[in-house]
Amino acid sequence: MLESVIFDLDGIIIDSEALWRDAEIKVFKSVGIDLSPELCRQTTGLDMQATIQYWYNHFPWENKSLFQVYKELMEIIQPAYEEDAELMEGFLDVLQFFKDSGITAAIASSTPLKLIMAALKKFHLFDFFKIIHSSENDEFCKPHPSVYIQTARKLNIPALHCLAFEDSFNGAIAAKAACMKVVVIPDSHNINSTRFDFADLKLESLKDFKPRHFEQLNT
């Protein structure tokens, strides 16, 4: 029986793809890397440190430290979260459904905790979540299952009794590797990709999630 629902933040709770894309294109250009929107998608689901390390491994630079790049990304993305972030369409209805069903809600995200808190504060969502966990201080980030394993431990609920909502391949792999059931909502560029076929349920939008889906997943 499912006892908890665990949400990723970016792409599930808030619509932040464009915010991250614009910040990454600007900051990485300062170290000589010209990222396109397509290239930015290669690191979707990774945390900031892993994203920076990923591009450094591919195109090493010398004019800035990795920490400086991290700092510059945060200087752009934090105000963007506070001012421009929007909720994903259908998320509030899904969240309310689980609250009404008596299912404990949590967040497991690769996003820095400071940004998670900024988003939750903006949309007054703190009271909905029992646990809020970021992988920024974990040894491993998604697609490693650590962030989901740690969240389940904090909830004191077996991972097998948790349902994860994810939008990225890396995130969905992490949740499945933690032995959770997974609902994946890929972006429009990946909705027809067979790489998500391992998920327990794939939908085009959170708006498409219905009580019957929960009944199917809860068997």
Residues with catalytic function: 8, 10
Closest CA to 107 of 88, 132, 143: 132
Q: What contacts 172, CB < 8 A, 6 or more positions away?
A: 164, 166, 182, 184, 196, 198, 199
- Count of Cβ atoms closer than 10 Å to residue 60 Cβ: 9
Question: Shortest CA distance to 185 belongs to which of 88, 71, 101?
Answer: 88
DSSP state of 10: B
Which residues, 6+ apart, have CB-to-CB distance to 195 below 8 Å? 169
Please list, residue by residue across 7-30, b when 16 or more beta carbons sit within 10 angstroms of its beta carbon and e when fewer do.
Answer: bbbbbbbbbbbebbbbbbbebbee
Please tell me the distance from the alpha carbon of residue 44 to that of residue 17, in angstroms, as a whole number. Answer: 9
The residues with which 74 forms a beta bridge, in sequence order, are none
Tracing tokens 């499912």 back to the chain, one arrives at: 2
What gap in Å lies between CA 23 and CA 29, rounded to an integer? Answer: 10
